[in-house]
Chain A
Amino acid sequence: MLACESLHHEYLSGGKQLTVLKDITFQLEAGGFLAIIGPSGSGKTTLLGLLAGLDRPTAGRVVLDGVDLGPLDEDARARFRRQRVGFVFQSFQLIPTLTARENVQVPLELAGSNDAGPRADELLHRVGLSERSHHYPSQLSGGEQQRVAVARAFSTRPRILFADEPTGNLDAANGAIVIETMTALNVEYGTTLVLVTHEPDLAALARRTIRLADGAVVSDTGR
């Protein structure tokens, strides 16, 4: 489902080269659940971005759902994401000027779906927010916003879902609800999950755990 080969990534900052990822290679089967953990600054977010095709690696290859992301241009990757990839971010990243329902509709609308409305309602119901569908993000609590984000991530029934510290900004109770929803949908749709987290409890839920330190894989368990 997801494979990467000798990924290297460097940032140029202040004229100096900063190597953030070194020689990362692993594979993940379809329907799997991977947790990426490691100390702050170890390169987790960077790795997630590369795996999802949001950025290009300095060297190395990413194959996602059988497609090599390397040769695809920016728009081709966008179309690919639209069809097969979902995202949940630490800071929710809802479009502030759209209501909850409209936010969930966006990926469907972009893909030209004609049942975006009913599908959004259904998903909002799944995350327990039917009552709030016409509220703007600023009118929702952090936990509620993240549940909307989860609903949005699953709206196109993606083959794979990337989540970067989805509970990082939430309290334990809200975090639990979000994780439950995510895992339930993972099972229901057979979606592959890639999760970056700091929290050991959360990592423990995953079937596989990769630990990064200083941009390199230091352990890979549950393979």
Chain B
Amino acid sequence: MTSAGFVRRLAWRQAHAARRRLMLLTASVVAGVGALVAVNSFTRNLTVAVAEQAKDLLGADLSLGSRSPTDDIKPARRLLDSLRRVGGGAVHVASSASFAAMAYHPSSGGARLVQVRTVDPGWPYYGTMTTSPARIWSGLQAGGVIVDPSLLTAIGAKVGDTLGLGEGRFRILGTVINVPGDVGLQMAFGARVFISTTSLPGTKLLAFGSRAQYETFIQLPPTIDAQAVARANGGVLRAERISVHTIADDRDNLTRGLIRLGNYLGLVALAALLLGGLGVASAVHVFIRQQLDSIAVLRCLGATSGQIFAANLLQALAMGLLGSVLGALLGVGLQQLMPHVVHDFLPLNVRVLPSPHAILVGIGSGLWTATVFALLPLLGVRTAPPLATLRRATDPVRARWDRLRVAAVLVLIASVVGLATLQVGSLVHGVAFAVGSGSALFVLWLTSLALIRSARRWTPESWPYLLRQGLANLHRPANQTITVVLALGFGAFILTTLFTAQQNLLRTIRVEDVAARPNLVLFDIQTEQQPVIDSVLTAEHLQRAEYTAIVPMRIRELKGQALADLLAKDTVGHRRGERGGAGGPPSWTLRREFRSTYRGDKGPGERVTVGHWFGSGAHGSGKSASDPVEISVEADLAKDLGVGIGDPITWDVQGVPVYSRITSLREVNWARFEPNFFVVFAPGALDHAPQSWVTMVRAPDAMVRGRVQREVAEHAANVTAIDLGEIQHAIESVVDRIVMAIRFMALFSLITGTIVLIGAIATSRWQRIREGTLLRTLGATRGQVLTILCTEYAALGLAASIVASILAGGAGWALARWIFNVHFVLPLASMATLAVGLVALTTTVGLWNSLEVLNKPPLEVLRAE
């Protein structure tokens, strides 16, 4: 008999006899590998889709975006002229403006806020508009509109009807089905309505101060490299607040973002896999324990410890491989569901295909994890004494630290670092992940030691016996405290961290309770339109808030330095939020348009942090540097601009300079619906500046809001009435998707955690059942046996989840601080709920695991050897 053959046969026979136990090993890795494969494979699908569709997403080779008509801006015009000169007839240019307006249906009286987009012939140059009926897109240029199907249902119109936009009347040609580059989510902010650029003037929409986004799409001949054009002109254009997009840039940005997201989600999957690794270790540990007798017999019969080790390793490998393959299958299945999760966020048509690379990496990670985690307990078989044939030791074979064990631990640590680095693509993050999970496990291990110690030392003699017996199980020989606390605690740690992160991310998005808040905002009201609005509101018996002025302006000088000089300092950063050179203010803050107001009173969501709110008396005219008007600046903006109390700022209000001096800084609660402002001017200086007004009302229901919107559209066409209820709805749908994605990942950890918990508890299953039966023979009722078990498992669950919560609090804080950059709040209530849930889960699994105690007749004790 060859040694290899013997090892293989031995492996098979042992595995066959212990199928159930080994299935735990297999199950431990399934969910982790599944999540890993699903996430990584889908991320690949996304990047492929981005690569294929980048051209369609932009619809042109180059696009320029701005807040005022792009053609009116000098450098943009110069660029277009020079491109036309070089490219001749092969250069095509299409302009587009997007803005919000009320659309109404004269025959039914229905009205809705929509997003109007004006388009020039030829656009989109790449990708196709899918419409119903087909091929009506070019008909747009003859006058007419194409709308989102949702608009038709909302206002009760049908194709062929007339639609009113401002003062224009349009025939509805049909509906859009797919617009390249648009995401489903956009529709929540108003249905899309496309009209030709030439028909815009007839609507009389886009009055002064209306907010619109302008875009110019450019198609270039192959001889002109869009990327080179963007690089050569980007600086100049961006200085004029024009954004520049190219296919390659957009593709790279989107790909980079998706890969990063995929990597981090994959890291969560990896954490689930590591948790599974703990499950493997405990399953192997139990398996070896149960095999000790037969191992001892085999050794007595002359098998070498090497042969036995090899046979057991072979089993672990085979089961690990089986689990990984099953996991990969699961992952491929789950991948099919993922497009639904991202559907509303990404303007992509994703083809879901299993990625062989992701599958191989998944199986490899699973197999490797199973192997390295099995190694430590497996090393125990080498030292299993043949003496065990004669007397079974109650104490587990004491692990002695030899060179092989140290090596196994080092391999384990290196593997975790390696897998994490591979997943997230950065050694620093890989090490951080390993250190994080390692310290969590270490703390949990200390916790289990402390639990054992305190159960031994501090269980008061006066407590009822059943309680004492249950707690005593924590420290008795062959206890399961360390295994359960490690497995449960690590699972709880992952789960709680996920939820803490979720809560903190969502808190920044979610709007507070809306019961008594205004729910209809009217924007862009011209001064002479105020009486019209008032009569509409009075007719509906609605009480409006004070009109608030909005004065658009830009920074001209900051602390005596001209904007151009400040921007010149800004040597590298042109992207949003990036700091200028020499620690100057971010360039986007300098260049942005500020929509400021003037008023004597503080708003309800504001709090002065430094300085004083405008007192009574004169506040300055702002007409000269020697007579500046007082202003109040939002605290974070002041920090960004590097200004404080007393600093002068000169504003450009439609070409007129207004001189100001900061007299207070404010904190603003942006989550409130009331219009909030970065900069508030003292009354007086801006009274005659070009301005529009905003007001809001609370309407009892959507019907009334609809009627107001309709009336406003009819009598003051350029005024935008936004139904905040709908926006609330849109925000909630975003929140729901995020919650779903996080729950999805949490589910894997929960499944793995439960399997691992079952595995960990299985360590003592046989023992607890035997003890329980014996206790019943000696006269314990089932209730008493249950109480003892409950006490033990509840204590384990409680210790593990409390410590896990504390650890997760720390991890959540670190994530909020370094990864998400949000302010961290400990979600105590949900953490407590989660902890209680985990204690319940532990107790349930523990009891379910020893259910046999209750069903087995105590007679079995007489027969048990």
Chain B residues within 8 Å of A81, by CB: 777-779
A45 within 8 A of B: yes
B427 within 8 A of A: no
- Residues A82 and B780 in contact in the complex (CB < 8 Å), given A96-B477, A96-B478, A97-B771: yes
CB-based contact B779/A97 at 8 Å: no
- Give chain A nearest CB distance to B390 CB in angstroms: 12
Chain A residues within 8 Å of B864, by CB: 91, 93
A131 within 8 A of B: no
CB-based contact A78/B782 at 8 Å: yes
Chain B residues within 8 Å of A87, by CB: 777-778
Chain A residues within 8 Å of B776, by CB: 78
Q: In the bound complex, how far is the Cα of B546 from the Cα of A165, in angstroms?
A: 97
From the candidates A78, A79, A82, A96, name the one contacting B394 in the complex (CB within 8 A). Answer: A96
B774 within 8 A of A: yes
Of B489-497, B572-580, B837-845, B853-861, the one with at least 4 CB within 8 A of chain A: B853-861
A74 within 8 A of B: yes
B473 within 8 A of A: yes
CB-based contact A97/B476 at 8 Å: yes
CB-based contact B857/A75 at 8 Å: no
From the candidates A48, A93, A164, name the one contacting B774 in the complex (CB within 8 A). Answer: A93
Interface mask (B823-865 → A, CB under 8 Å = 1, otherwise 0): 0000000000000000000000000000000000111011111
Chain B residues within 8 Å of A75, by CB: 781-783
Interface mask (A85-101 → B, CB under 8 Å = 1, otherwise 0): 10101010101111000
Interface mask (A35-51 → B, CB under 8 Å = 1, otherwise 0): 00000000001001100
B132 within 8 A of A: no
Chain B residues within 8 Å of A74, by CB: 781-782
Q: In the bound complex, how far is the Cα of B776 from the Cα of A138, in angstroms?
A: 22
Task: Please name the residue on chain B nearest to A48 by beta carbon.
Answer: B862
Task: Please name the residue on chain B nearest to A86 by beta carbon.
Answer: B778
- Residues A49 and B394 in contact in the complex (CB < 8 Å), given A54-B777, A98-B476, A111-B779: no
A137 within 8 A of B: yes
Of A60-68, A102-110, A182-190, the one with at least 4 CB within 8 A of chain B: A102-110
Which B residues from 452 to 511 make CB contacts under 8 A with A? 465, 469, 473, 476-479
Task: Please name the residue on chain B nearest to A56 by beta carbon.
Answer: B857
Chain A residues within 8 Å of B780, by CB: 78, 82, 110
A112 within 8 A of B: yes
B392 within 8 A of A: yes
From the candidates B392, B779, B858, B861, name the one contacting A110 in the complex (CB within 8 A). Answer: B779
A83 within 8 A of B: yes
Interface mask (B388-406 → A, CB under 8 Å = 1, otherwise 0): 0001111100000000000
- Give chain B nearest CB distance to A72 CB in angstroms: 12
Chain A residues within 8 Å of B392, by CB: 138
CB-based contact A138/B394 at 8 Å: yes
Task: Please name the residue on chain B nearest to A76 by beta carbon.
Answer: B781
Instruction: Count residues on chain A whose CB falls below 8 Å from chain B CBs.
Output: 35
A199 within 8 A of B: no
Q: Identify the interface centre among A96, A98, A112: most chain B CB within 10 Å of its CB.
A: A96
B767 within 8 A of A: yes
Q: In the bound complex, how far is the Cα of B780 from the Cα of A74, in angstroms?
A: 10
Q: In the bound complex, how far is the Cα of B476 from the Cα of A196, in angstroms?
A: 33
Which A residues from 127 to 145 make CB contacts under 8 A with B? 136-138
CB-based contact A91/B865 at 8 Å: yes
A29 within 8 A of B: no
CB-based contact A85/B779 at 8 Å: yes
- Residues A112 and B771 in contact in the complex (CB < 8 Å), given A54-B858, A91-B864: no
CB-based contact A96/B862 at 8 Å: no
Q: In the bound complex, how far is the Cα of B774 from the Cα of A152, in angstroms?
A: 12
CB-based contact B862/A164 at 8 Å: yes
CB-based contact A136/B777 at 8 Å: no
A23 within 8 A of B: no
Task: Please name the residue on chain B nearest to A85 by beta carbon.
Answer: B779
- Give chain A nearest CB distance to B203 CB in angstroms: 84
Chain A residues within 8 Å of B393, by CB: 138
Task: Please name the residue on chain A nearest to B469 by beta carbon.
Answer: A109
Task: Please name the residue on chain A nearest to B476 by beta carbon.
Answer: A97
CB-based contact B861/A106 at 8 Å: no
Task: Please name the residue on chain B nearest to A80 by beta carbon.
Answer: B779
Chain B residues within 8 Å of A164, by CB: 862
B536 within 8 A of A: no
Q: In the bound complex, how far is the Cα of B777 from the Cα of A89, in angstroms?
A: 11
A55 within 8 A of B: yes
Task: Please name the residue on chain A nearest to B473 by beta carbon.
Answer: A97
Interface mask (B380-420 → A, CB under 8 Å = 1, otherwise 0): 00000000000111110000000000000000000000000
Chain B residues within 8 Å of A85, by CB: 779
Interface mask (B764-796 → A, CB under 8 Å = 1, otherwise 0): 000100010011111111111000000000000
Chain A residues within 8 Å of B477, by CB: 96-97, 136
Task: Please name the residue on chain B nearest to A107 by beta carbon.
Answer: B778
Q: In the bound complex, how far is the Cα of B857 from the Cα of A52, in angstroms?
A: 12
Which B residues from 5 to 57 make CB contacts under 8 A with A? none
From the candidates B395, B476, B781, B863, name the one contacting A45 in the complex (CB within 8 A). Answer: B863
Interface mask (B307-343 → A, CB under 8 Å = 1, otherwise 0): 0000000000000000000000000000000000000
CB-based contact A106/B778 at 8 Å: yes
Chain B residues within 8 Å of A55, by CB: 857-859
Task: Please name the residue on chain B nearest to A90 by beta carbon.
Answer: B862
- Give chain B nearest CB distance to A194 CB in angstroms: 13
Q: In the bound complex, how far is the Cα of B859 from the Cα of A164, in angstroms?
A: 12
CB-based contact A49/B862 at 8 Å: yes
Chain B residues within 8 Å of A137, by CB: 394
- Residues A106 and B775 in contact in the complex (CB < 8 Å), given A49-B862, A91-B865, A97-B473: yes
Q: Name 30 A/B residue pairs within 8 A (Cβ), A-sorted.
A: A45-B862, A54-B858, A54-B859, A54-B862, A55-B857, A55-B858, A55-B859, A74-B781, A75-B781, A78-B776, A78-B781, A78-B782, A79-B779, A79-B781, A81-B777, A82-B780, A87-B777, A93-B774, A93-B861, A95-B775, A97-B476, A97-B479, A109-B465, A110-B778, A110-B779, A137-B394, A138-B393, A138-B394, A152-B778, A164-B862
What 5 additional pairs, Cβ within 8 angstroms, besides A81-B778, A138-B392? A54-B859, A93-B774, A93-B777, A96-B767, A136-B477
User: 4 closest Cβ contacts across the A-B interface?
Assistant: A82-B779, A97-B476, A109-B465, A75-B781
